[in-house]
Homo-oligomer: A and B are copies of this chain.
């Protein structure tokens, strides 16, 4: 029988609001489970936002649960970490990426088995994540899409496709929050099951149908399902990012600029301010309703979906990644989707007649944090 010694698993968290705060809460809530079931205890060596990094009074021992609770409350009240006592404040002239990289550098020496956790929404974390991924024993878990989608394929390959990557890097919540899309796809890949198509609705905002277009978007924004500027969703770039991460996970050497994206709004709405854009949305309703009706006449429904087609095994075909409005049979998994769920279909050698389907909530701080926490537990059990 196993010994019941508890291993301390140190981590450094970047991003302390929203998802980051939810992650810290989940970690504290899961202490008894993690000890009993996995023999581990997560220890926050530092928590950072764009202003500063905060460590506990006992720096080597990590932040205490009381210090974590105080930090969450401070952030929830709108405070910056720089105003916390003992904070290491980022010098105003220093780039955020340099600040974060130097922090990771410090822990790579002091606590080399640290997990670098990215719950921010910045691409300033790229150097820090690369550092963690390529430093012996360090590990990285990220809910942040940008280091995997906005950064170059070369960076992605170094982060996620190196032989050491499975042991060092996890990025589940960068696509569909905690919905285990990356985990499922990674299993399909490792089993050498050739993927022929990934088709997915990755955006809670855009999965709706049946109401007027402007009403659906307005409601989604109210519920916090959209980015601050809804065009980040409606323009398809957020969907493109998620689909690109899946395509790259298959090994496809694509850049974000290679993705063919059909936005859901007309070019003349692109330059407006956010309030003006929201006010102008009803002008799109009639054209959208006509498309819905045309699809319905064929027994189909509209979905805003991404289609990833890898090159054929014999190297022909080249592969493609397209994001746009598609009409799908109402009875297909994607067609039966309703509400704000995400849905991903994976077609492959072993999922040929019918796809492997994952469906469920794909947004929200709680489920996003849950995905990161699962990633951290997996990393705690990997070999460096």
Please judge, given known A-B contacts A360-B351, A360-B354, whether A373 and B191 are in contact too, CB under 8 Å: yes
A4: B residues at CB distance < 8 A: 163
A122 at the A/B interface (Cβ < 8 Å)? no
Known: A38-B163, A180-B180, A180-B183. A134 touches B354 (CB 8 A): no
Minimum CB distance partner of A23 in chain B: B191
Q: Does A341 contact B (CB under 8 A)?
A: yes
Using known A-B contacts A2-B134, A184-B180, determine if residue A364 contacts B350 with beta carbons closer than 8 Å: yes
Please tell me if the beta carbons of A370 and B350 are within 8 angstroms of each other in the complex.
yes
Q: Is the CB of A184 within 8 A of B184?
A: yes
Q: Is A316 an interface residue (CB 8 A)?
A: no
Q: Contact: B341 with A191, CB < 8 Å?
A: no
Complex contacts, A1 vs chain B, CB 8 Å: 134, 158, 162
Q: Mark A36-47, 1 if CB is under 8 A from B, else 0.
A: 111110000000
Q: Which residues of B contact A370 (CB under 8 A)?
A: 188, 191-193, 350
Q: Does the CB pair B161–A37 fall under 8 Å?
A: yes
**B190 lies within 8 A of A373 (CB):** yes
The residue that A383 contacts in the complex, of B163, B331, B383, with Cβ under 8 A, is: B383
Within 8 A of B (CB), among A11-35: 26, 29-30, 33-34
Chain B's closest residue to A333 (CB) is B359
Please tell me if A166 contacts chain B, counting CB pairs below 8 Å. Answer: yes
Q: Are A192 and B359 in contact (CB under 8 A)?
A: no
Chain A contacts with B in 167-215, Cβ cutoff 8 A: 167, 172, 178-180, 183-184, 186-193
Cβ–Cβ contact A164 & B357, under 8 A? no
Report yes or no: B361 in contact with A359, Cβ–Cβ below 8 A. Answer: no
Contacts of A172 in B (CB 8 A): 187
The answer to whether A359 and B360 touch across the interface, beta carbons within 8 angstroms, is no
| Interface presence of A319 (CB below 8 A) | no
Q: What B residues does A369 contact at CB under 8 A?
A: 191
A192 contact set on B, CB distance < 8 A: 26, 29-30, 33-34, 370, 373
In the complex, A94 has a CB within 8 A of chain B: no
Of the listed residues A165, A331, A349, A381, the one surrounded by the most CB atoms of chain B closer than 10 A to its CB is A381
> What is the bound-complex CA distance between A350 and B178, given in angstroms?
9
7 closest residue pairs by CB, A with B? A39-B163, A30-B192, A191-B370, A187-B374, A356-B360, A190-B377, A357-B359
| 26 CB < 8 A contacts A-B | A1-B134, A2-B162, A2-B165, A29-B192, A33-B192, A37-B189, A37-B251, A172-B187, A180-B180, A180-B184, A180-B187, A183-B183, A183-B184, A183-B187, A186-B374, A188-B374, A192-B370, A341-B354, A349-B366, A350-B370, A351-B360, A351-B361, A351-B367, A353-B361, A354-B360, A356-B361
List the interface of chain A (C-beta within 8 A of B): 1-2, 4, 26, 29-30, 33-34, 36-40, 134, 158, 161-167, 172, 178-180, 183-184, 186-193, 251, 331, 333, 336, 339, 341, 349-351, 353-361, 364, 366-367, 369-371, 373-374, 377-378, 381-384
Known interface pairs A29-B192, A349-B366; 17 further A-B residue pairs with C-beta atoms within 8 A, sorted by A's residue number:
A2-B163, A33-B189, A166-B381, A172-B187, A180-B183, A180-B187, A193-B370, A333-B359, A341-B354, A350-B364, A351-B360, A351-B367, A353-B361, A354-B361, A356-B358, A357-B359, A382-B382
